[in-house]
């Protein structure tokens, strides 16, 4: 009756409506055995009581089959006011919102966001891409989109279209090299406008490219709209993985499921076909296992990724069936299996 054995049983309990289990969603906060009794604490991200009742019932049943019904004590807690802000609103026409985050800069988060968006579009999905990096927007360059957005009859901003993806960024409004020098409240207001004052239309998914760290932009997004989950981008070395844990903990504190980790710059393959692990090997996969979250894949260091970003044509928009394009497309396919089922 160890924590590990209890947790393994709870992995058979699916979150209602999803193929994923409550453990991989990060909802199990305590699982322990004490003098023949099992104690489990589950903290939900949804305030729906029918979801809580279903999870309570299924978790109790699964554990009772192994340890006996009289020995099972399951507590299922709904979100508190601190973890689910009352101002959360649904976004009309958008089926799910996925945040792409990183604990630090320079790991290729925006490159990953752009390529995931193009990969989802290749799958036939209706996709939006929101650049929430207000101070340093790079999505316009990477998606090859420029110009000021127009306003429609309902006085909403019309997002630009690039490679079939609807794109919005501060870079379209503040063009050129002019810096954005704003305090936190302005960042909060702008992100809320990007969510509710943009004519996104009907989307299967809106990907949100967050700035590095755990600041105003991240907290605003988590508190303003219900997220389907977050994706963490990292590189293999420990310097990156250390801050990945902070990003994961941030999402968990505001009850946002972690949909997976993508490891970028995993290795460089030379002309002889040898893989050179410049930044270390397997760090992203190991961290995903440690955090009990899905590992979505490795993306190697390939020159065409940089060239595609500089040219405004992400590699998944060019060729998603081979090379660097396939690496991102495979990661998008893995993400689809965790976020869309």
CATH numbers and ranges of domains, the chain: 3-77 (3.30.300.130), 97-339 (3.40.50.300)
CA 57 – CA 41 distance, rounded (Å): 13
Q: Is the pLDDT of residue 45 over 90?
A: no
Longest pairwise C-alpha distance within the chain: 67
What pLDDT, on the 0 to 100 scale, is given for residue 214? 57
Mean pLDDT lowest among 68-82, 138-152, 179-193: 179-193
The residue written with tokens 């589950």 in the block is 42
> Of 105 and 290, which is predicted with more confidence?
290
Work out the burial of residue 88: count CB atoms within 10 Å of its CB; fewer than 13 is exposed, 13-18 middle, 19 or more buried: middle
Q: Worst-scoring range by mean pLDDT, 22-36, 97-111, 126-140, 231-245?
A: 231-245
pLDDT winner (highest mean) among 15-24, 233-242, 300-309: 300-309
Contacts 24+ apart (CB under 8 A), 273-277: 275/300, 277/236
Can you give the pLDDT at residue 85?
Answer: 44
Nearest to 191 by CA among 247, 152, 137, 228: 137
Higher-confidence residue of 61 and 25: namely 61
* Rounded distance between C-alpha atoms, residue 198 and residue 175, angstroms: 18
Q: How confident is the model at residue 64 (pLDDT cuts 50, 70, 90)?
A: very high
**Could you tell me what percent of the chain has a pLDDT over 90?**
42
State yes or no: pLDDT of 174 exceeds 90: no
Backbone dihedral region for residue 84 (phi beyond 0: left; psi -120 to 50: alpha; all else: beta): beta
Q: Would the pTM of this model clear 0.85, i.e. be above it?
A: no
Measured distance CA(209)–CA(128) in Å, rounded: 11
The pLDDT, as a whole number, for residue 201 is 93
Top-confidence residue, 249 or 162: 162
Asked if 160 and 166 count as a contact pair (C-beta separation under 8 A), the reply is yes
Residue 87 has pLDDT above 60, yes or no: no
Listed residue (234, 251, 249) closest to 295, CA to CA: 234
pLDDT tier at 82, thresholds 50, 70, 90: very low
Distance in angstroms (rounded) separating the CA atoms of residues 58 and 15: 10
């Amino acid at each position: 009756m160890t924590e590990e054995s209890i947790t393994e049983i709870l992995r058979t309990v699916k979150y209602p409506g999803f193929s994923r289990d409550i453990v991989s969603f990060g909802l199990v906060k305590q699982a322990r055995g004490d003098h023949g009794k099992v104690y489990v604490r589950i903290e939900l991200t949804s305030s729906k009581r029918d979801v809580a009742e279903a999870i309570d019932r299924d978790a109790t049943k699964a554990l009772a089959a192994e340890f006996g019904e009289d020995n099972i004590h399951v507590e299922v807690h709904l979100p508190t006011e601190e973890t689910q802000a009352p101002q959360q609103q649904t976004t009309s026409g958008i089926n799910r919102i996925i945040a792409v985050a990183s604990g630090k800069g320079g790991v290729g988060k925006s490159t990953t966001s752009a390529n995931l968006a193009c990969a989802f579009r290749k799958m036939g999905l209706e996709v939006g891409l929101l650049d929430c990096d207000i101070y340093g927007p790079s999505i316009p360059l990477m998606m090859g989109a420029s110009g000021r957005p127009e306003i429609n009859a309902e006085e909403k901003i019309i997002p630009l279209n690039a490679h079939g993806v609807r794109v919005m960024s501060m870079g379209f409004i503040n063009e050129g090299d002019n810096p954005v020098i704003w305090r936190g409240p302005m960042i909060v207001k702008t992100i809320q406008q990007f969510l509710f004052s943009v004519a996104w239309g009907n989307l299967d998914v809106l990907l949100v490219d967050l700035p590095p760290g755990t600041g105003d932009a991240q907290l605003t997004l988590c508190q303003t709209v219900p997220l389907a989950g977050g994706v963490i981008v990292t590189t293999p070395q420990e310097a990156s993985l250390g801050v990945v844990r902070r990003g994961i903990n941030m999402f968990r504190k505001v009850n946002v499921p972690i949909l997976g980790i993508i490891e970028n710059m995993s290795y460089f393959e030379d002309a002889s076909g040898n893989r050179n692990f410049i930044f270390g090997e397997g760090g992203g996969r190991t961290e995903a296992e440690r955090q009990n979250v899905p590992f979505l894949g490795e993306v190697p260091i390939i020159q065409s990724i940089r060239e595609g970003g500089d040219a405004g044509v992400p590699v998944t928009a060019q060729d998603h069936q081979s090379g660097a394009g396939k690496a991102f497309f495979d990661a998008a396919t893995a993400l689809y299996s965790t976020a869309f089922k």
